Structure 1
Amino acid sequence: MSKYLLNKFLFTIDRDPELVERYREDPRGTVTWWEAERANAILNLPEGEASSWLSFTDEEREALSTHDYVKLFELGAHNFLTLTLFIALFERDYSEPLGFQLEYARKLQHWSLPYPDITT
Structure 2
Amino acid sequence: MTKYLLNKFLYTVDRDPSLVERYRDDAQGTVAWWEANVANALLNGHTGEASTWQRLTDEERAALTGHDYVALFSLGAHPFLTLTLFIAMFERDHDEPLAFQKQYAARLAHFDLPYPDIAT
TM interval, short-chain normalised: over 0.9
Q: Does 1:31 align with 2:2?
A: no
Unpaired segments ≥5 residues, structure 2: none
Secondary structure at the aligned position of 1:44 is classed as helix
Aligned residue number for residue 46 of structure 1: 46
Amino acid at match of 1:4: Y
Aligned residue number for residue 75 of structure 1: 75
CA deviation string 1:31-82 (max 9, x = no partner): 0000000000011353232111111000000000010000000000000000
Secondary structure at the aligned position of 2:53 is classed as coil
Ranges of 4+ aligned residues in structure 1 off by more than 3 Å: none
Q: Which moved more, 1:43-52 or 1:25-34?
A: 43-52
**Cα RMSD for the two superposed structures:** 0.8
For residues 50 and 21 of structure 1, do their structure 2 counterparts lie closer, same or farther at Cα, with a shift above 3 Å needed? same
* Distance (Å, rounded) in 2 between the aligned partners of 1:46 and 1:30: 21
For residues 85 and 45 of structure 1, do their structure 2 counterparts lie closer, same or farther at Cα, with a shift above 3 Å needed? closer
For residues 14 and 45 of structure 1, do their structure 2 counterparts lie closer, same or farther at Cα, with a shift above 3 Å needed? closer
TM-score normalised by length of structure 2: 0.98
TM-score normalised by length of structure 1: 0.98
Aligned residue number for residue 19 of structure 1: 19
Identity rate, percent = 70
Aligned residue number for residue 85 of structure 2: 85
* Distance (Å, rounded) in 2 between the aligned partners of 1:50 and 1:85: 25
Question: How many residues were matched structurally?
Answer: 120
Unpaired segments ≥5 residues, structure 1: none
Aligned residue number for residue 9 of structure 2: 9
